[in-house]
Structure 1
Amino acid sequence: MKPNQSRRHFLGASAALVAGAVLGPNKLWGAPALIRNLNKPNSLINGVQIGVITYSYRDMPDQSAEATLKYVLDSGISAIELMGTPVESFAGAPKNTVDMRSMYPLMRKRRENQTLTEDEQKTLAEAETKLKAYRTEMANWRQKVPMAKFEQVRKMYNQAGVSIYGFKPDAFGMQNSDAEIDYGMRAAKTLGANQITLEHPVNEAHTLKLGQMAQKHGIRVGYHGHEQQTPTFWDAALAQSPGNALNFDLGHYIAAGQPDPLNLVQQKHDRIASMHIKDRQAPTHGKGNLPWGQGDTPLKEVLGLMREKRYQFPATIELEYQVPQGSTSVAEVSKCFEFCRKILS
């Protein structure tokens, strides 16, 4: 074979390979896209984005932005609702001396009106005193921190194949200044998020302010609820501003004994910024947080509805059942994602 024929043969074979990448059964966009997406997670399944909140990894010893990214990747997830600690610590925030891993269970017990022992009450009170001082220190830091570090976090996560759709620092409560709220929204935008999330303050003056500030920043505020959720729980905030939205928790809604969550999702889908998913029992069965598929939460039905209607809000895995002995939260989030994948595939 002549040299120019060999070259033509090589180029023709290469073109065929590229054509196969473009037109093959996996419908890839071409060789460059294939290379870019190699070994990256993909939790967008038939139009439904499955994400995870970093709270799911709260028992892991390393809560840095880098370690959190590894947990997400190892879980097979490609989208995240980031809480404040991993990002703000990366940006150089003062260190919180309170061990939040030990505080979360106590805070949950109080929120669910469970009885706290005297020692637990004392521990919680001491922690909250320290947290109050820490919040003051954080408020001062937030007034000065540049956005460059937040841009670095966005690039680090995006390059690994993980998009950041939500940001949840402790910066949006009634105890926070307008300057802190503005900081949190600027940081969210810099991270690439389209929403900030927080516990519903149940204060109309505050939700009005947050909604108006969110509009100016071009993002939405997703209000999270627990067992106080009802079909009308968000109505006042939604009427105040298009910047206000739901961070709906499907599992807590079932534990609250509320009927017909599918109807709520259908009625308010355009105002749902994101939805937390877990498998909780109804009140008649004890309200437990169980491994997925063992509770009363209609995960299959709601995820199926999202796929059918092509709803654009993400479904966020929030791991709250007890991690079995010998397992890890990363492994359990992976199981939750696999549960969703089977439903949506």
Structure 2
Amino acid sequence: MKTKKSIQQRRSFLKKSTALIAGTTLLGPSVFGASGFMSFTPQLNSKINGVQLGVITYSFRSMPDQSAEATLQYILDSGINAVELMGDPAEQYAGKPENPVDRRSFYGLMRRKRNSELNDEEEKTFMGMQAKLEEYNKTVANWRATVSMNKFIALRKMYNDAGVSIYAFKPNAFGKDNTDEEINWGMKTAKALGASHVTLEHPSDDAHTLKLGQMAEKHDVFVAYHGHEQQTPTFWDTALEQSSHNALNLDLGHFVAAGNEAPLEVVREKHSHIKSMHIKDRQTPEHDKGNVLWGTGDTPIVEVLKLMRDNKYAFPATIELEYDIPEGSDAVQEVKKCLTYAKKALES
């Protein structure tokens, strides 16, 4: 548990890091649109002292335009050169049927439901959205069965030409309700995008993790399982035993909020199985599990980044923006702050 002195040190660290933003140029002139990417390639490099800092595009869910092109611009404006790509921007780029459910509203309700915060009316709304999504998912499954890989290859080129690599892909394609054809499609698409692994919520079903691991072996990609507050040091053990292609998408912030007392130990012990790690600052149960501004919570972000640097761990550290965006700011500005904080840690 943190001492008063250690908390004060981390908050001092945060103030210094945030102050750097005004004087640090992460990008040159802003560009927008695919033609701009082709004519101007920013010299991005968010790999700091051997540690690849990336971002999951879920972090930009509050931004108005969710197209693949706009998402790429958000990544560039954040100063980041490697990403975990959510499914929607890529699939929309390839012509996926339009979703009848408002994505931002659904994500907001889903997050609150996870925290047991929904009232009766909100619960009813959420259930209605889920029903619409079930029908929509059937339409998407049919579309995935016939869509060409050409647009995904083109998207990869667009991102790569702009200086951004895609290391992970997270479509809604690997659940127990998805068909084998969809699972195969998701793994094939990850390869087309240049990703080494796909990510998904751990299904809490040993038969399904066995199936996914075996399918991943055939495609030569890894399946990295994400967790929330159900994470423990042994959370992934069965999946890891089942297949050499099952792996971890560790979320250090959720691990801390779950009350686990040695977050750095799980990184040391499982590092060879971690394909990417989400970083955010959350508090322990004693401090109400808050999702807070980096440097003000209980997650050892500075310590884990230095651990990765000093031990030359090769997996990316993925910024996931989940704290409330302050008034007057936006997701891009907040991801920039997180990047600056992480960069300061790795350079000190």
TM over 0.5: yes
TM-score of the superposition, structure 1-length normalised?
0.88
**Whole-Å separation in 1 of the counterparts to 2:167 and 2:43:** 17
> For the Cα contact (< 8 Å) 2:156–2:192, is it kept in 1?
yes
**1:292-317, CA deviations, whole angstroms, 9 ceiling, x for partnerless residues?**
00000000110000000000100000
Equivalent position to 2:194, from 192, 197, 212: 192
Matching residue of 1:164: 166
Matching residue of 1:284: 286
Equivalent position to 1:324, from 323, 326, 330: 326
**1:75-121, CA deviations, whole angstroms, 9 ceiling, x for partnerless residues?**
00000000110000000000001111011121112222x23112101
Structure with higher RCO (Cα < 8 A, 6+ apart): 2
Deviation, structure 1 residue 237: 0.3
Equivalent position to 2:234, from 232, 235, 258: 232
CA distance change for structure 1 residues 203 and 342 in 2, over 3 Å: closer, same or farther? Answer: same
Matching residue of 2:206: 204
Equivalent position to 2:261, from 259, 262, 266: 259
> For the Cα contact (< 8 Å) 2:41–2:163, is it kept in 1?
no
> For the Cα contact (< 8 Å) 2:253–2:280, is it kept in 1?
yes
**1:148-200, CA deviations, whole angstroms, 9 ceiling, x for partnerless residues?**
00000100000000000000000000000100000000000000000000000
RMSD after superposition: 1.1
Question: How do residues 43-192 of structure 1 correspond to structure 2 at under 5 angstroms?
Answer: 43-112=46-115, 114-192=116-194
**Whole-Å separation in 2 of the counterparts to 1:39 and 1:314:** 21
Q: Which runs of 4+ in 1 moved over 6 A?
A: none
**Whole-Å separation in 2 of the counterparts to 1:218 and 1:326:** 44
* Stretch of structure 1 that moved more, 98-107 or 332-341: 98-107
Deviation, structure 1 residue 40: 2.4
**1:37-77, CA deviations, whole angstroms, 9 ceiling, x for partnerless residues?**
96221100010000000110000111000000000000000
CA distance change for structure 1 residues 37 and 254 in 2, over 3 Å: closer, same or farther? Answer: farther
> For the Cα contact (< 8 Å) 1:255–1:283, is it kept in 2?
yes
**1:207-241, CA deviations, whole angstroms, 9 ceiling, x for partnerless residues?**
00100111111110010000000000000000000
- When Rg is computed on C-alpha atoms for both structures, the one with the higher figure is 1
Equivalent position to 2:246, from 244, 247, 250: 244
Matching residue of 1:300: 302
> For the Cα contact (< 8 Å) 2:291–2:323, is it kept in 1?
yes
**Whole-Å separation in 2 of the counterparts to 1:301 and 1:344:** 9
TM-score of the superposition, structure 2-length normalised?
0.88
**Whole-Å separation in 2 of the counterparts to 1:61 and 1:144:** 30
Where does the alignment leave 5 or more consecutive residues of structure 2 unmatched?
1-38
Is 1:271 matched up with 2:255? Answer: no
| Sequence identity (%) | 61
> For the Cα contact (< 8 Å) 1:37–1:161, is it kept in 2?
no
Aligned residues: 309
